[in-house]
Chain A
Amino acid sequence: MELHTLKAHELQDKLRKKEVSATEIAQSFLKRIDAVEDKVQAFITRTPEAALAQARRVDEKIARGERLAPLAGLPGVLKDNICVKGTKTTCGSRILENFVPPYDATVAARLAGQDAVILGKTNLDEFAMGSSTENSAFFTSRNPWDLSAVPGGSSGGSGAAVSAAMALWGLGSDTGGSVRLPAAFCGIVGLKPTYGRVSRYGLVAYGSSLDQIGPLTRDVRDCALVMGAIAGHDPLDSTSVEAPVPDYTKALVPDLKGMKIGIPKEYFVAGLDPAVEKAIQGAIEQLRSLGAECREVSMPHTEYALAAYYLIATSEASSNLARYDGVGYGHRGQGNDIVAMYKRTRTEGFGEEARRRIMLGTYALSSGYYDAYYLKALKVRTLIRQDFDKAFDQVDVLVAPISPTTAFKIGEKVEDPLAMYLQDVCTVPINLAGVPAISLPCGFSGGLPVGLQIIGRPLGEEALLRAAYAFEQANDYHRRLAPVGEV
């Protein structure tokens, strides 16, 4: 048995029993990366030396009999919009192609504090704007289940790396579905935590009021493990929640007796692929058989979420991305005066989607349109939150699709931005409401995984994980390994 096919919690166990060393684990993953990365193209930057050095430190701790942190010696990857001091952080953009942060993101510091082994930084749609990694300035990552299909985005590199067993876990960021969609497309588990649960300090901002870092893992237990490592209050993030972090693995019980599950009918509408719908309905039946009480609920403002989302996210982005101007860091274009330099820098440095969203957001905020667009979107956001509040008065969690379809082919949607945006229709309401949601596999269609979304109350990650775990354990999707081009 090869080590890289195991789950993080399984290797954690073996490491503690001294059946393997952290160095062996790291070497196994580095070998796996060498074997399949050419086909998958998940990494922007690989850090094998640092990974091995960290693994050796863990082995030394083991030799000295020191206590190990939960993630110690377990290799993972970070989306390349999470700052790591001294390691290039590009955001998948030319404009930050050579940017080396002089500081660590809070999650990076926490993982280092836990002796986690970092294998590298993964590909993404530029500044996390996209659903496929096709907006990366560097290359498009591949779906390990079908190399001609996208891995989903924007955290597609992390999704593909975990799915192709190049890493035990990955971190992504989710502004409108960017953790959950690649999890669904790649057949793994992805969690978008409650807004404020995981520090955003050091996560390069896209839509600040929506962004949240979350784990991508091969099963629910690993998800709970990584969540435990990254969640918690951070004084450097004013929007960080102070609530104590529970032991998420304690929530993992394989039955759902007494759990009330809501099925929001508005998530099952035209455009939903019949195969996807069938897999979701099958999953609902299974949840029921596991003891959950399922009932239909209504969330009447769902159809407006995507429009509100694109206004809010792009407005915030237009301001967040103003700093890339060639003055203090990043790419600088030629220009004889400051304004010419700004324009050249930003036109050369940003890809088309980033430029489109900057313009969209600038327009939405500009004088004369603010009330009609941005303010209107914030009000609709209130109505969407109220939909969730009302639903959670009746049920503990909600179940819905992640995406109307399974992974699409590379190149299929690049010419039609609106069609690409519609990919996010089932995921963006969750970010607008700030609630947590998990994606996990619930079936396959044409060899490609289908993602099931379970949505919880604010800070209700434990309920999500419990429902996801019970469902996962009743199936074997988490035991399947993506073929990565092999038949």
Chain B
Amino acid sequence: MKITRQDVEQVALLSRLEIAGGEAEKFTGQLNAIFGYIDMLNKVDTEGVEPTAHVLPLKNVMRPDEVRASLPREEALANAPAREDGFFKVPKILEG
């Protein structure tokens, strides 16, 4: 399994990260080394083995449908990099 520079660029796009010229090479090399190691999992026979998404035997953890206090708007917006009229403000959205 060889990870190409194009793979790295596609993954960076999915992750919303920029990859500078030299970095693409570096990350490609490192990810190949890491996945080269990870590929040892192919040796494990997992036929018929159930995946473990949770280690706990917990199920049906729920809360009653009760309203609890929300944050005062000022606190909700306190960390916002940009705001206007009680809204969070973001640059334009090009996607249709």
Contact = CB atoms under 8 A, between A and B. Distances in A.
Interface in A348-367: 350, 355-356, 358-360, 362-363, 366
A102 B77 CA distance: 10
A417 interface: yes
Given A239-B58, A336-B92, A337-B93, A359 B8 contact: yes
Interface string B7-40: 1101110111110000000010011011101101
B88 to A, nearest CB: 6
Nearest to B16: A342
A363 B13 CA distance: 11
B6 interface: no
A55 to B, nearest CB: 28
B44 A380 contact: yes
Interface string A406-421: 0000000000011001
B46 A376 contact: yes
Interface residues of A, number: 68
Given A307-B38, A344-B18, A378 B51 contact: yes
Given A304-B44, A308-B41, A339-B94, A359 B12 contact: yes
A382 B52 contact: yes
Nearest to A344: B18
Interface string B67-96: 000010001101111100000101111110
B41 A329 contact: no
Interface in A308-362: 308, 310-311, 318, 322, 325-332, 335-344, 346-347, 350, 355-356, 358-360, 362
B75 to A, nearest CB: 4
Nearest to B60: A238
Interface string B47-73: 001111111101001010000000100
Given A102-B71, A417-B30, A366 B56 contact: no
Contacts of A251: none
Given A337-B93, A417-B34, A329 B63 contact: no
B11 to A, nearest CB: 5
A221 interface: no
Nearest to B3: A363
A379 interface: yes
A385 interface: yes
Interface residues of B, number: 51
A310 B31 CA distance: 12
A235 interface: yes
A209 B55 CA distance: 8
A339 B41 contact: no
B30 A356 contact: yes
A458 to B, nearest CB: 8
Nearest to B92: A337
Contacts of B88: 327-328
B12 to A, nearest CB: 6
A362 B49 contact: no
B15 A338 contact: no
Nearest to B80: A328
Contacts of B78: 100, 102
Given A327-B90, A338-B94, A342-B16, A195 B44 contact: no
A325 B46 contact: no
Contacts of A327: 80-81, 88, 90
B82 A332 contact: yes
A360 B91 CA distance: 28
Contacts of A358: 15, 17
Given A304-B40, A342-B16, A362 B11 contact: yes
Contacts of A290: none
Interface of A: 98-100, 102, 195-196, 209, 235, 238-239, 241, 301, 303-304, 306-308, 310-311, 318, 322, 325-332, 335-344, 346-347, 350, 355-356, 358-360, 362-363, 366, 373, 375-383, 385, 417-418, 421, 432-434, 458
Given A366-B11, A432-B55, 20 more contacts: A195-B55, A238-B61, A239-B56, A306-B37, A327-B88, A332-B81, A337-B94, A338-B93, A338-B95, A355-B17, A359-B17, A362-B15, A363-B31, A376-B41, A378-B51, A379-B51, A379-B52, A417-B33, A417-B34, A434-B56
